[in-house]
Amino acid sequence: MCERIVEILRLNQLIAAVVVIVGSFSPVALAGQHHAHAHHQLTDEQFAELREKVPLYREFSDEQIMENMSRMGPNHHVYLSDVTLVGDIGVLALGHGYKPSGNEAFKDAYRPTADRHPTAVAFGMAMMSSDHIQAAVDELTAAGADTLLIMPVTTLKSGGLIGQWRYIFGEQADAPWMSVARVKTEATVIFGPTPTTDPLISAILLDYAAQLSRDPANEVVTLIAHGPDNAPANARELEILEQHAAVIRSGHPFAEVRGFTLQDDAPTAIRRANVERIRNWVSDAADANRRVIVVTTLPVEGNLQRRIRRDLEGLDYDLVDKGVVEHALFSDWIDSVIAASE
């Protein structure tokens, strides 16, 4: 009987994989993966929708929009569990999508979970397609999951990415980006919390800063977050950074701890003003003979750290080159969310 169940699961997952392959040739999927052809797939109405919803794109031509979106990397999913694993609860971790080393670090964080529950990860912003998320859901239900725990891994409390994921799972009415297909499933869906304000994230940021510390009385810490593109949401993110900063102050005797957001997807003038603000703070600290430690709230080390290095070029500082997902404590956050859903 067990062998028969495994055979059925393997067949179901093979079917799901074929669906993914076929789906990757759909116009929307091709638009998300091959920007050379994408311009011909998007309609004037779709470009208009993007410009209406993404302030930065109002500065861009159609070609610049497609070039920008192509740099985000393709949407894709990876099924982590062995095909023989059967379980009532399926875990789906959602990530922005990173460079290969970042994707591997993200998957590594979920491998222990994959040994206990059917587990998949879906990478990508789902800006133009949700096919990869639907495929991951189908594989999890094929493994016997009648409850799906969705784990949106972003350290932004609000913004386009978390909003798009929430829309796809019917958690909010409107899509912040394109109105892609919503997930269809008969399983019960539990849309879990982001790790944004969890005390474990504060503990991780504290540990990262402390690891680089040599003389805390003469050191300052700069927390840098991606940041949402609108002012009210950005103000809330700055409040969250201050919560993390307070934990770092209480846990290590740094001279000062300050949080900043880049608002990386905001119009150019807004981002430039934020960079100037950060540069001034770092420069002033250096002028006061204080060593600057820069810690980001990003999930994994990736392209934004590269842009931060470019933004702070010419200044003296030390940057933590790891994201919160890469810390051992992150597995405790995963376990706590799963335990709360059981």
Residue 67 lies in a domain: no
> pLDDT: is 12 or 187 the higher one?
187
Say how far apart CA 146 and CA 148 lie, in whole Å.
7
Residue 273 lies in a domain: yes
Same domain? 139 vs 274: no
Contact in structure between 182 and 168 (CB atoms under 8 Å): yes
Say how far apart CA 88 and CA 117 lie, in whole Å.
8
Q: Give the pLDDT confidence score for residue 12 in this predicted structure.
A: 47
Same domain? 272 vs 313: yes
Q: Give the pLDDT confidence score for residue 52 in this predicted structure.
A: 86
User: What would the mean pLDDT of 270-280 be, rounded to a whole number?
Assistant: 97
DSSP, collapsed to helix, strand or coil, labels residue 42 as coil
Mean pLDDT of the chain: 87
Say how far apart CA 202 and CA 244 lie, in whole Å.
5
Q: What CA–CA distances, in Å, run from 2 to 5, 8, 98, 142, 149?
A: 5, 10, 38, 15, 25
Parent domain of 241:
199-323
Spatial strand order in the sheet of 188-191: 76-79, 119-123, 89-95, 147-152, 188-191
Residue 28 lies in a domain: yes
Q: Give the pLDDT confidence score for residue 142 in this predicted structure.
A: 97
> pLDDT: is 285 or 178 the higher one?
285
Same domain? 225 vs 268: yes
Same domain? 214 vs 313: yes
Same domain? 190 vs 82: yes
Residue 78 lies in a domain: yes
Same domain? 221 vs 89: no
Same domain? 9 vs 107: yes
- Domain endpoint, select from 138, 170, 194: 194
User: Which region among 17-26, 45-54, 149-158, 193-202 has the lowest average model confidence (pLDDT)?
Assistant: 17-26
- Domain endpoint, select from 138, 159, 194: 194
Say how far apart CA 57 and CA 229 lie, in whole Å.
12
User: What's 120's DSSP letter?
Assistant: E
> pLDDT: is 30 or 97 the higher one?
97
The two beta strands, 119-123 and 76-79, are: antiparallel
Percent of the chain with pLDDT over 70: 87
User: Which region among 65-79, 158-172, 258-272 has the lowest average model confidence (pLDDT)?
Assistant: 65-79
Residue 251 lies in a domain: yes
Same domain? 296 vs 184: no
Contact in structure between 200 and 152 (CB atoms under 8 Å): no
Report the predicted TM-score, pTM, of the whole model to 2 decimal places: 0.83
User: Which region among 21-25, 58-62, 175-179 has the lowest average model confidence (pLDDT)?
Assistant: 21-25
> pLDDT: is 326 or 99 the higher one?
326
* Alpha-carbon dihedral sign for residues 336, 90, 123, 191: negative
Q: Give the pLDDT confidence score for residue 56 in this predicted structure.
A: 83
Contact in structure between 155 and 168 (CB atoms under 8 Å): no
Same domain? 29 vs 140: yes
pLDDT at position 6 over 50: no
Same domain? 240 vs 179: no
pLDDT digits (tens, 9 = 90+) for 156-170: 777 788 999 999 999
> pLDDT: is 32 or 300 the higher one?
300
Say how far apart CA 245 and CA 225 lie, in whole Å.
12
Residue 61 lies in a domain: no
Say how far apart CA 139 and CA 96 lie, in whole Å.
20
Percent of the chain with pLDDT over 90: 67
Residue 60 lies in a domain: no
pLDDT at position 338 over 50: yes
Q: Give the pLDDT confidence score for residue 99 in this predicted structure.
A: 86
Same domain? 143 vs 226: no
Residue 338 lies in a domain: no
pLDDT digits (tens, 9 = 90+) for 93-137: 999 988 899 999 999 999 999 999 999 999 998 988 999 999 999
pLDDT at position 26 over 90: no
Q: Can you give the CATH number for the domain in which 275 is found?
A: 3.40.50.1400
pLDDT-derived band at 24, boundaries 50, 70, 90: very low
- Domain endpoint, select from 143, 165, 194: 194
Same domain? 129 vs 236: no
* Domains of the chain: total: 2
Q: Give the pLDDT confidence score for residue 230 in this predicted structure.
A: 86
pLDDT digits (tens, 9 = 90+) for 36-51: 333 347 788 888 888 8
DSSP, collapsed to helix, strand or coil, labels residue 331 as helix
User: What would the mean pLDDT of 66-88 be, rounded to a whole number?
Assistant: 87
